[in-house]
Structure 1
């Protein structure tokens, strides 16, 4: 498997989907309800996903794909699985807030080896191959800069993002306690409605950490790999080891991610 070629396929697909989204947000969106938790889906989600699936499966017809809207698209080979989030931030787009990204990941035996997040608004793409760092490139460029964010403690606590899975109820006791702890101890808590955008911000050093509770499987691997390859550390909520793969339950997808120097303070807040 040529991961450089896979990255090129993923980047080109994500940027093409991003161009589609950027143009589409200027017109009527076709918003409708999705599920019972207040989530929505738009025509843009479906059009972007169609483009991404066509590009990926044309290049890798034997691979499996897990897509945000289509679910599991089975391929002939079980070793390689793509994860596709065609519009991470749909609720933002639906209210006219330009905060959304396109995410693609490739997993081998359930473990991410490639992650791509494209931001159509800033026209930048972050990509990572396991063991080879995270690159930030202008859209359409073949080269960029390797990310290695520095860290300086903030005077009133860390700046963190919060993300949770769609199935987490409003009265979920654990989620309520975690959010309360962050609100009391952090300088600011961002709830972006776009987890992959938060991961990109963390990989760039724009925020100090992310706390995730029962995160969605389609979002986690791409963002986590970008952060890890930029030098970010990820732990379980109790400070123990964390596996960023696609196997396991929703409870296994609860985590704290931060710059290594910020991690002890963030874990202390949650205790």
Structure 2
């Protein structure tokens, strides 16, 4: 995959630059829906993601975590969801923080159209490797399970995120944890790599960010995730983890993430988890 012609423009005021590919979906029964897909991965996966992300326990837990860390002091400044998929977080942000202007960026044109319809905001078609927005355009950048993707170049993407952030602006990343947990799901959704908290911290420091914080989450359910990925669905022909569990199980899993979220708010840090959540500030 490669970027479009450098002169391509996105019709959105002062926003400019090129179009390029990025990602898609992926929820599971017990493992997180890391949205790391190529364009070839398929309209059906975006459709499943679009239908699931409003109610599925993992999306709800992730979106709540991200909303917890967004800086309320910059409430009047726009937020970019870089690699927004079908718009679940954009919709959640508009519902929870109506004072914050939200903008999306998504490679897949069909997913971008779904995101526009779902969230009612502008969604540009473009790449995290060449973000089609002006310097210092945003007070916050959110990118959820995108830098793990085969088409993403983390160093370039982080340089772009820093460029479009205003001084003092906040970057929020979520990424899948632990390369040893790489599985059939990752192959199907074109995940290039999984991360550790230390590795994410090093990437952010090298990109020039400050006030870096990293933490594991989806920790209480982590043993079940390992069972799902490494035992129950370890075969090379296993499908991706895009599936809605029965309502009772969905509620139970979400309750576990809520308990963990409260523990984290009280200061408890977990040594491992299914995901790494990171925040950093543009100096």
How high is the TM-score relative to the length of structure 2? Answer: 0.28
- In the superposition, the TM-score normalised over structure 1's length comes to 0.29
Bigger relative contact order, structure 1 or 2 (CA pairs below 8 A, ≥6 apart): 2
